[in-house]
Amino acid sequence: MVLDKIKALELHRRTKGKFDIYPTININNEEDLSLAYIPGSVPAALAIKDDIGKSYEYTGRGNRIAVITDGSAVLGLGRVGPYAAMPVIEGKCLIFKLFGDVNAIPICLDCHDVEEIVHIAATLSPSFGGINIEDISSPRTFMIVRELQNKVDIPVLCDDQHGTAVVVLAALWNALEVQGRKIEDLKIVVCGAGAAGISVTELLLAAGAKNIIVLNSSGILSESNPHMNNIQQELALKTNPEGIKGGLSEAIEGAHLFIGLSKGNILKPQHIRKMGKDPIIFAMALPEPEIHPEEAYAAGASIVGTGLPEYPNAMPNLHTSPGIMRGLLDVRATCLSTTMLLEAARALANVVDRRRLSPQKITPDVFCDEVSPCVAEAVGQAAIREGFASLTLPEGQIYHNLWESLYGNKLSRH
């Protein structure tokens, strides 16, 4: 699909933002005003003063998140700054609402210091039930997520990290089911060692992968690579068990799976021809994939997925982050764990009808109405089992509530 830039600009000019704020109640007379504002707000304020947990009952906090960026790594654009990041972050907020019924507020910060961003986000946390860190350059994004989760008692999601990792693992599990393979038997190449590449690798390791080679712009992550940040150095100790040196050509020899999270058109047909039998290609760079599906299949790929909705096996983050956050909010989770991400991936994989599972069908349709409810249910129940939930909900309730609010012609939560 070729983007019509004039049409896109006109949409942004006409709408002046991708969402609006509407009241949940009407004020028609003095009594309405006194109940909704002063003095009606006083009993609620005093109840929250005595029990902070009541803020979830008497305010909109429980269904409100902050989407925070500094504009340093905006998808497909790079370091464009906080003002230029706003259209993208507003779009992310729209996705949270439309696919998860989550009220998301864009917050674009004119600062890049890790400690300052953590401080600002933590200071804002009483207003929100969750935080999504978005489009901040690596390794700072990892540092921010780690430090922030230690400072606040609400979940911190990073769509670039967690959302991407879940959608990749879900697609891989289905691809392996099609091929009759196991993840522990694969040689995997991850091209790109930014936020997405590192998080995908960590989740694949948690899922049982044994042999992963990760590359940054200077080559394979290993002790021989002089250009690694501290997060990449940590990952180098857990990957490349065969001690391979060099770049993509050396790494991809005999590999079964290529995961591209770098830049467009860097994977060549000759690379695929060097891979093992029936190779799987996940070319997820945007707006241009590492290789286009037609070219990958012509070179011998067995299964190809991309981040582009116009191709089969699309792997968009809208399949993951809205549902993950919905599940976290519904049980008032205090954090986001690896187990929750694994359960989200399994739920997403299982959305695909087993009767339709094939090399051309390893992911759900982009607008499948089962995706977010199933992911939310899996995450919420995992949080309950792990003891990270403040509310215990019966199985199926999270799924039912979200499906009804999104597709059942019922009023949304707020």
3-state secondary structure of 327: helix
Query: Tokens standing for 325?
Result: 């956050």
Query: Tokens standing for 206?
Result: 């948690």
**Residue 45: how many other CB atoms lie within 10 Å:** 13
Q: Are 152 and 126 spatial neighbours (Cβ–Cβ below 8 Å)?
A: no
DSSP 376: H
DSSP 194-256: SHHHHHHHHHHHHTT--EEEEEETTEESSTT-S---HHHHHHHTTS-TT---SSHHHHTTT-S
**Beta bridge pairs of residue 344:** none
Q: How far apart are CA 325 and CA 128, in angstroms?
A: 12
Q: Is 70 flagged in the annotation as binding?
A: no
Residue with tokens 């599990």: 173
Name the catalytic one among 7, 18, 37, 274. 37
Is 37 annotated as catalytic? yes
3-state secondary structure of 310: coil
**Beta bridge pairs of residue 258:** 189, 281
Q: Is 353 flagged in the annotation as binding?
A: no
Q: Are 218 and 181 spatial neighbours (Cβ–Cβ below 8 Å)?
A: no
Is 210 annotated as catalytic? no
Q: Is 160 flagged in the annotation as binding?
A: yes
Name the catalytic one among 5, 18, 58, 92. 92
Q: Which residues are catalytic?
A: 37, 92
Binding residues for a divalent metal cation: 134-135, 160
Binding residues: 134-135, 160
